[in-house]
Structure 1
Amino acid sequence: MLASKRILLIIGGGIAAYKSLDLIRRLRERGASVTPVLTRAGEEFVTPLSVSALAGEKVYRDLFDLTDEAEMGHIQLSRSADLVVVAPATADLMGKMVAGLANDLASTLLMATDTPVLIAPAMNVRMWEHPATRRNREQLVADGITFVGPNEGDMACGEHGPGRMAEPLEIVAAIEAALGKGPLTGKRILVTSGPTHEPIDPVRYIANRSSGAQGTAVARALASLGAEVVFITGPAEVPPPDGVRVVRVESAREMSDAVDAALPVDAGVFAAAVADWRVAAASERKLKKSKDGLPVLEFTENPDILKRVSRMGEGRPGLVVGFAAETDNVIEHATAKRARKGCDWIVANDVSPATGIMGGSENAVTLITDAGAEEWPRMGKDAVAERLAQRIAAALTG
């Protein structure tokens, strides 16, 4: 999708600048050309030599460079790209963009361009949450600037919260979406994600350890390929992706109703870790300890969303993908689940505690289809999502 596309990449000053090196590599893998612009502050974190070597292009650094102006003036540089990407976009760069300042090469290019601009913010959590930054973000959105991230997580400074720059593959997906139609344009896809919470009483519930990270990544990857995504999520730890329709639910029954409301779709990806059971009669009051001993909880089965959609007959999605989180005999159990549910594909993984997959940043999956079991190497959840999205696109459009 990025073959022959020209990206002008502005690298701001922040520790996240190291990710820009991987971003350049990912873009070039996909056939894009990258013209890098390195700010003075950016040079404190990555060198012009490393940027140039990866991009295979000259690095532009100075506004008043006679050689650069003779070869390609900054106005031409700003308009010769298909997309301008700022990664990392610091609070300083965002402020300059809002104020219309143009006192260095990066800010001048951003002022002079008539090309769409995508920025990936990266800064300390307090800076991101500062009222000035919030105002600047709102104004940039109003000005037509597209954002990817920031994500929430641990900071280099030791703090935790929103402000981490989006990962390179997330930025690539956002670039693909910004540059036009993808292979899934015109397709409507349903994705479920996260855990469900099944109430015991008003303050207690049954849940599981799903973070929702893999389902969120799948929704983001599908949207980057042009799909209209309906994202139905339980109370997940990770925020939902941008650019999708988000439906928030709590229980399995609420998720089942939301799935029904979202149909018909071209494909359904059921990544949610739906609780198999719920308390038959949840208490309307908080259960108390008593001298009579422990309360007795009676359980009943939750609706089997994957099985119902897989076997619904008329109106069934053209492709139904289920997930199987197992702790032993992964392929055997997942293959049996695929047959039992009636879905087309199962994405199986081993979530036993030793793997660190449940709630972690990586996954190791096996894709089970009519053709058999295809084991994928362990990789980041974004990479798994990107690969799965490409396979879905091939199945729906091939």
Structure 2
Amino acid sequence: MKKRLILFEKVIMIVLFVFSILMCVVTPFGWDEQLPDWIWAVFLGVLVLIVPYMLYAFVHQIIRITKEKKWGSFTKRVLLRFVYFFCISFVILKLLALSYSKIEYLLFTFFTVCISIAVDDIEDKNKTTVRQLKVYPVKDADLAKIKPLFDNWQETLIWSCLQGVMGQAWTNDLENPTSAKIQIADFCFLAGEMEPDFFNYRHESWNTDFTIMVPQNEEWASLIEEHYGDNAKRVTRYAIKKESDIFNRERLQQFIDGLDSEYEVKMIEGDLFIQAKQNHWSADLCSQFPSYEEYKEKGIGAVVVHKGEIVSGASSYTVYKEGIEIEIDTREDYRRKGLAAACGAKLILACLDRGLYPSWDAQNLGSVALAEKLGYHMDHEYVAYEVKL
């Protein structure tokens, strides 16, 4: 390390000495004013970085020579230091001739270039890591290549991603994919051959510490358990059949009309969108839409309002080209009053009016019962994992 510092010091001395000689030659002819800014920027930046170190080294060497009384080397070493500081002084005098704004500009240029080089190096390392992990983001134009891996999976969240509407997909091979991962909202779907690298790569936009992983088969399930251990909780969820023309409009309207007069059923608009996102229990009703403008364009939802406050709601958790995936919930102190049924009925009717299919996936048997009350039919159970990342 010491030898490297000495070598570094000598290189800097030589560079500054050459620069000083160059200035002595070009200054009388006014050529120094024609030097490009990058030359000034480099020497000014080097000067700012090296002067504190050289001052320390100069003082440290004098103290050391004095203590060790090696006067034979004193003349040689100190003379070299004086030559070096003469060069620095000359450069400083030249720089003082520049305006303050010029010096500020040159320093900004030098350090901006240094930072850019450092950032590019970090990005290159990240890209290398992604390549080594065999994890490649799938662009919209390539989504068709991974679609066969998800065939026969009747899941609207998957369809949304494959349609390029919402979510992000990754694969192990962009040309001939054999495994793929889809991340959309809080859900992660794993398909094809097992690829452990999917668990080791985390995209910078994925800022959550929780996800629901849905394996395509038991092999994927075993891999999740092996990788996450106690942080992966195995749960049973319930898929609801996607059937058209099963809804009874009159019956759905009865759920809405049957509410007590103290409650109002409203579509989610403006202030109700903001209120839904602000309440912890109702945030997921609109959580996948950053702004009301985007929700107004793509989403749809209904809420029950009591004394100006949202107490129950049903909304589009995610959307796909043919419909929505429903998110439904009721504030804990307002449950068992038929509010969720009224919200769900209002949302289903609004979807039917727009030609959208209101898809339903149940987290528990209570959700299954509510879905069947509104006209749906259960399809099958499936395994998922609630994972703490």
For this structure pair, what is the TM-score category when the shorter chain's length is used for normalisation? under 0.3
Which structure shows the higher helix fraction?
2
Greater Rg, structure 1 or structure 2? 2
TM-score (norm 1): 0.22
Q: Which structure's relative contact order is higher, taking Cα pairs within 8 Å and 6+ residues apart?
A: 2
TM-score (norm 2): 0.23
